[in-house]
Structure 1
Amino acid sequence: MNASVKLIVVLGFALMVGCTVVPGAYHSPTPGWFIDDDEIPQGEPLPDVVKVHAIGTAILDHQDIHPVDRGVPEEIDLSDEEYDYQVGPGDVLQITVWDHPELTIPAGSLRSSAESGNWVHNDGTIFYPYVGIVNVEGLKVTEIRDMITERLSRYIEDPQVDVSIAAFRHKRIYVTGEVDDPGLYPVTNVPTRLIDAIGEAGGLTPSADWSSVVLTRNGKDYRLSLRDIYQYGNTSQNVLLQPNDVVNVNPVTDAKVFVLGEVGKASSLKMGRNGLTLAEALAENGGFNQRQSDASGIFVFRKASEQAEHGIDIYQLNATDAAALVLADSFRLQERDIVYVTAAPLAKWNRVLSLILPSVSALFLGSRTEGALRD
């Protein structure tokens, strides 16, 4: 076998091997994502946890990305009918006994109700004339009214008693982050919902991410979206707050997406307060490379929700027809999304050649040298 034949055989073998190890990342639905190594915990193979969705014309009405019926976990989905304030230490009660001003307005009548009312002590009790010490902690005002009425009836015929709360000081919620006036805000007998708390805190700052509001309750975090409430009318996100809830509005600088693959410049992008569409993300990074990219393989990788049975959602846009880029402008990205543009088959082939050509050139020069020495 002469040197030329050897060179052809080696070249053919190198090309076949090179096609199996195309450099660079790409998305494949076939198995083989992980090296089989029993000593390294791998978890589920990636194809088993991936669900692929086509970005089609259905998203033009935004229903696929922002459904108006997107709910919240059942444990925080409470109705106003389930809410009733319970008195606790620090609250001030205003107790009125009609036709008995000596019981209704104690000494110092010029003071406000919050100052002259019945302070609930640290042990949860109050003192009231004729009634004595009453434990009111954890009771509703209607229950306190009935208790005082029953005890006063021993001394006053048919007493007409009313009980209200003059100052709410026991239960509070915490509003932090990107609001004008963060701090503690009292929970009152009027149900407080998410937008009420944000309003009490002065509203959002210009750097607030209104799509990323974190509610912490009993040590567990829930992500809510003011954008869904205001822009899409999703009132289920406007949850009823409970005592000791912490509402934190994240800064928009924390919300990023990542653009990788065959684009002008791979980078991370800040989403901005109004979010980011797929078209905007591609344009910010110089668009997809017309010579190197595969326009049918524009993917958005997204971690699936906790309720989903799979782990990763992949949205695929086929932009071989430029009109499909309208769909990209309707597809709204979410925080931590990964936009990936795959390489065209010819670009992959060129990469294979770039890897094997140095070796082939060395073989070619070696064969020429061998032939020259033989001659």
Structure 2
Amino acid sequence: MQLKTDLRKWSVIAVMPILAACSSVSPGMHYAGITESASSTDEAPEGAIKPILKPITPQLLKAEKSLREKQATQDISKLLGQAKAYNIESGDVLSIVVWDHPELAGPAIAGAPAAAGMVMDPATQTAATQSAGFVVDQDGIIQFPYAGALKVAGLTQDQARNLVTKKLAHYIRNPKVTLRVQSYRSKRVYIDGEVKSPGLQPINDIPMTLMEALNRAGGMLPTADQSQIMINRSGTNYHINLPQLVQKGVNPSSIMLSSGDVVRVLSRDESKIFVSGEVTQPRALTMHNGRLSLNEALGESGGINPLSGDASQVYVIRKSATEPIVYRLDAKAPGALAMAEGFELQPKDVVYVAATPLTNWNRTISQILPGQLSGAVGAGAGYK
């Protein structure tokens, strides 16, 4: 019995120096040596990443807000405009009817099969319907009986009708002409991304605004990020943030699309925030239409773990163009939660909550001497 007691005594004495030596090599993320003045000009081991540490303060929140407003002010004036009448272009099919003169109708309308009462199959009838009318050729010209070659490209329907009427007036007294676009084939936009029915959408007499295009595509899916809508026009990308536009008093329906525009609605999964460390539920979070505060990220992750988390060491790691930036929040300080609510996260940010020194110490010993620490402590408790 005495020998067993002596072994327990010496096991406690042997473990104590190891515990003291391991306190400086505990696992986890450490930023104790980084100060706000640290920069890439300081000496650092070759290949090591030395981020800049910035404490989250009211002054920092003000500067970050000003920077966000400057970055969000992309000039989209070229996209704004008023609805205009549809202009006929090459490829469009026109339906032209001269009242009391059926002989001037399109070739399929005056065709023999219909006149003879013959029944056509659906495929033939569809093809005849599509060919009925006058196609605007690549030069923007149509050929119409008596009127000859008419340049209609760039004209509205009313202007084209007046042109046909003027030409026919030389041969027909007081011609009454009805002209409309039968098939819109010259202009189209492409809708892609998180919409119900992506694909080509033809531009017709209804003004093709951004909201009209999204509506024709079946609307945005629940996974769509309304703050991440990209419009590509002639090689230039325009970033559209719908909630922000509405907040600024800009009607999204004033964004007019042009032929050849590509509209892409990004997914919320492309703008994630990663929360790790000593939180109740480490996870990847999706932003809410481009917005997520540090307070919300911690809340959706279950908050800081009360058993192992160090509330004074809450970090936000952000990748910048040059070097990583680490923001630090002391959640124990008065007003810290208010500052956390005002700190806006950016896509791909990493929120990390460090462990307490005691937790790091315990984990280190558990890795070096698995199962021995509890035995040594138990021996020390029994040796009195």
With the length of structure 1 as denominator, give the TM-score of the two structures: 0.61
Alpha-carbon distance, 1:244 to partner = 2.0
Alpha-carbon distance, 1:102 to partner = 1.9
Alpha-carbon distance, 1:79 to partner = 1.0
Contact 1:85 1:188 survives alignment (8 Å): yes
Take 2:347 and 2:312, find their aligned partners in 1: how far apart are those partners?
A: 24
2:148 corresponds in structure 1 to 132
Take 1:238 and 1:297, find their aligned partners in 2: how far apart are those partners?
A: 47
2:213 corresponds in structure 1 to 197
Contact 1:55 1:315 survives alignment (8 Å): no
C-alpha distance after superposition, 1:243-302 (max 9, x if no partner) = 122222233333311224554565433346796442232134443356876646645455
Tell me the secondary structure at the aligned position of residue 339 of structure 1. strand
Alpha-carbon distance, 1:219 to partner = 3.5
C-alpha distance 276-189 of structure 1, shift in aligned 2 (>3 A): same
C-alpha distance 234-54 of structure 1, shift in aligned 2 (>3 A): farther
C-alpha distance after superposition, 1:73-92 (max 9, x if no partner) = 336432126x5543233312
1:182 corresponds in structure 2 to 198
Tell me the secondary structure at the aligned position of residue 101 of structure 2. helix
C-alpha distance after superposition, 1:55-109 (max 9, x if no partner) = 68999xxx98997x9554336432126x554323331224466xx5427972638
Alignment of 1:21-40 (within 5 A): 24=29, 26=31, 28-29=35-36, 30-32=38-40, 35=44
2:382 corresponds in structure 1 to none
Contact 2:87 2:155 survives alignment (8 Å): yes
Contact 1:91 1:165 survives alignment (8 Å): yes
Output the amino acid matched with 1:336.
Answer: K
C-alpha distance 144-238 of structure 1, shift in aligned 2 (>3 A): closer
Find the partner of 2:230 among 189, 198, 214.
214
Alpha-carbon distance, 1:316 to partner = 6.2
Take 2:158 and 2:30, find their aligned partners in 1: how far apart are those partners?
A: 67
Whether 2:75 is the aligned partner of 1:73: answer: yes
Whether 2:133 is the aligned partner of 1:117: answer: yes
C-alpha distance 310-35 of structure 1, shift in aligned 2 (>3 A): closer
Tell me the secondary structure at the aligned position of residue 213 of structure 2. helix
Alignment of 1:276-291 (within 5 A): 276-288=292-304
Contact 2:192 2:264 survives alignment (8 Å): yes
Question: Unaligned stretches of 5+ in structure 2?
Answer: 1-20, 115-124, 366-384
Alpha-carbon distance, 1:225 to partner = 3.2
Alpha-carbon distance, 1:157 to partner = 6.6
C-alpha distance after superposition, 1:114-138 (max 9, x if no partner) = 7643222355431112221234344
Tell me the secondary structure at the aligned position of residue 283 of structure 1. helix
Output the amino acid matched with 1:325.
Answer: L
Output the amino acid matched with 1:88.
Answer: E
Question: Unaligned stretches of 5+ in structure 1?
Answer: 1-14, 355-375
Contact 1:96 1:161 survives alignment (8 Å): yes
Contact 2:295 2:337 survives alignment (8 Å): yes
Contact 2:51 2:326 survives alignment (8 Å): no
Alignment of 1:308-319 (within 5 A): 317-319=329-331
Output the amino acid matched with 2:267.
Answer: P
Tell me the secondary structure at the aligned position of residue 189 of structure 1. coil
With the length of structure 2 as denominator, give the TM-score of the two structures: 0.60
Take 2:94 and 2:259, find their aligned partners in 1: how far apart are those partners?
A: 19
C-alpha distance 222-274 of structure 1, shift in aligned 2 (>3 A): closer
Find the partner of 2:255 among 222, 239, 242.
239
Contact 1:53 1:314 survives alignment (8 Å): no
Take 1:283 and 1:185, find their aligned partners in 2: how far apart are those partners?
A: 42
Find the partner of 2:351 among 336, 339, 343.
339
Whether 2:266 is the aligned partner of 1:254: answer: no
Tell me the secondary structure at the aligned position of residue 80 of structure 1. coil
Contact 1:226 1:237 survives alignment (8 Å): no
**Mean alpha-carbon deviation: is it higher for 311-320 or for 249-258?**
311-320
C-alpha distance 161-321 of structure 1, shift in aligned 2 (>3 A): farther
Take 1:85 and 1:240, find their aligned partners in 2: how far apart are those partners?
A: 13
Tell me the secondary structure at the aligned position of residue 204 of structure 1. coil
**Mean alpha-carbon deviation: is it higher for 50-59 or for 202-211?**
50-59
Tell me the secondary structure at the aligned position of residue 203 of structure 1. coil
Contact 2:278 2:354 survives alignment (8 Å): yes
2:7 corresponds in structure 1 to none
Contact 1:225 1:237 survives alignment (8 Å): no
Contact 2:211 2:252 survives alignment (8 Å): no
Output the amino acid matched with 1:31.
Answer: S
Aligned residues between the structures: 322
Whether 2:87 is the aligned partner of 1:86: answer: yes
Take 1:270 and 1:175, find their aligned partners in 2: how far apart are those partners?
A: 23
Alignment of 1:90-101 (within 5 A): 90-95=91-96, 100-101=99-100
Take 2:192 and 2:136, find their aligned partners in 1: how far apart are those partners?
A: 28
